[in-house]
Structure 1
């Protein structure tokens, strides 16, 4: 039988850790990435600096954990939405992924800014960890959407560009060639274009640039995503 005191201690520690992360994101929302500070969080929570360091020894440890959490939640949402659409509907799966990412971003604007927008000054991400794992999943997810569409999309998406593997980051190339053998370099270019169109309007919306310009940003985004699917020769 487990020690109830240990279980309670673990629960309290998890609750405190969650509160620290929530306050960190709120500080970022109010004052930008510069505002993320362990001492500032400790003041907000009525803790001593020494106490908060027992949860996150450095600010970078906290930022790394935040990025891992929010990025993982974003990819979880996108993958779940994609997987709810049959594999024989590549256009529908692209739309599902895109809509899920926008919905996640609107529900987690600070998280979106942390992952896709404002860099935290001086922060150096580790070579490995949950954030890197989520980034790899996101990349594989979008490449996978293009790979599934490629039998049709290749006829519509060349754009006149003649791409070689040397045009892209070697690490990205290695992952694509391992996970999607047979996919040509041109498909990576299409993947980057798909990603840009998915995230462009979302970024404008999160940063307030659409405010006052359009009453229904969701409709504009949906039109853009449907146009994206059509441009790849797919149905939606």
Structure 2
């Protein structure tokens, strides 16, 4: 009986924690990232301020957890879609990752904004928080896509300028060289360009800039990624 009681309390705690995070994103949707506060969430939930602080000691703790959860969810969506495509199909894996990330962003617009767009006033992310781990995981995923495409892309893009490791931040260089020791600096630059093309139209769509321009943003995005893949000398 005691174990059942503990288990029930643990489940209730997880449910309450999830509800807190859901309301935080609702507050952000209604009033921007500055609207997220523990006291406002407590009011929405009918909790006392003291009770909500037993779940998250500070607003920044909540934001850190939110970013970690959301970023991990996004990366898992990309990885799952990528891994459903054979490793020999480099172009198909790029398309799968891109489409999955867009679908995730459309399903989680506030999450996308929290990760990639709107800064939370006064928030300073920890150096080794869960968001950082998810960011490195996303970086590894994108680097892996480029690594698989690199032999073909290198031959196809012979006019790219020379890059040196000094062109990039030390932390990024260390991560890239540890995960993919055979990739040159030019591949890291290409990874950034691939990321930019994947996220450019996605960001415009999430922030509503495409709404008055096209009734079919999915096709425009698909064509952009297909053009990206072709520019690397790959096929679908």
Q: Same fold (TM over 0.5)?
A: yes
Instruction: Report deviation, 1:156.
Output: 2.6
Corresponding residue number in structure 2 for 1:102: 102
Instruction: Report deviation, 1:162.
Output: 1.2
Instruction: Report deviation, 1:159.
Output: 4.6
Give the Cα–Cα distance (whole angstroms) in 1 for the partners of residues 2 and 47 of structure 2. 29
Given the superposition, is the C-alpha separation of residues 61 and 158 from structure 1 closer, same or farther in structure 2, using an over 3 Å criterion?
farther
Give the Cα–Cα distance (whole angstroms) in 1 for the partners of residues 142 and 105 of structure 2. 17
List 4+ stretches of structure 1 deviating above 6 A.
none
Corresponding residue number in structure 1 for 2:147: 147
Given the superposition, is the C-alpha separation of residues 215 and 8 from structure 1 closer, same or farther in structure 2, using an over 3 Å criterion?
same
Give the Cα–Cα distance (whole angstroms) in 2 for the partners of residues 212 and 2 of structure 1. 59
Q: How does 1:163-182 map to 2 (within 5 A)?
A: 163-182=163-182
- Aligned residue pairs: how many? 236
Matched, 1:87 2:87: yes
Matched, 1:231 2:226: no
Corresponding residue number in structure 2 for 1:4: 4
Give the Cα–Cα distance (whole angstroms) in 2 for the partners of residues 60 and 148 of structure 1. 38
Is 1:157–1:190's contact at 8 Å kept on the other side of the alignment? no
Instruction: Report deviation, 1:157.
Output: 3.2
Give the Cα–Cα distance (whole angstroms) in 2 for the partners of residues 193 and 158 of structure 1. 16
Give the Cα–Cα distance (whole angstroms) in 1 for the partners of residues 74 and 225 of structure 2. 18
Corresponding residue number in structure 1 for 2:33: 33
Give the Cα–Cα distance (whole angstroms) in 1 for the partners of residues 43 and 107 of structure 2. 26
Q: Deviations over 1:19-44 (max 9, x none)?
A: 00000001001110100100000010
RMSD over aligned CA atoms reads: 1.0
Q: Deviations over 1:195-218 (max 9, x none)?
A: 000000000000000002101000
Given the superposition, is the C-alpha separation of residues 198 and 158 from structure 1 closer, same or farther in structure 2, using an over 3 Å criterion?
farther
Give the Cα–Cα distance (whole angstroms) in 2 for the partners of residues 147 and 80 of structure 1. 18
Instruction: Report deviation, 1:160.
Output: 3.2
Give the Cα–Cα distance (whole angstroms) in 1 for the partners of residues 158 and 43 of structure 2. 55
Corresponding residue number in structure 2 for 1:122: 122
- The normalised TM-score by structure 2 is 0.98
Corresponding residue number in structure 1 for 2:193: 193
Corresponding residue number in structure 2 for 1:67: 67
What are the ranges of 5 or more consecutive residues in structure 1 without an aligned counterpart? none
Corresponding residue number in structure 1 for 2:206: 206
Corresponding residue number in structure 1 for 2:219: 219
Secondary structure, in 3 states, of the residue corresponding to 1:154? helix
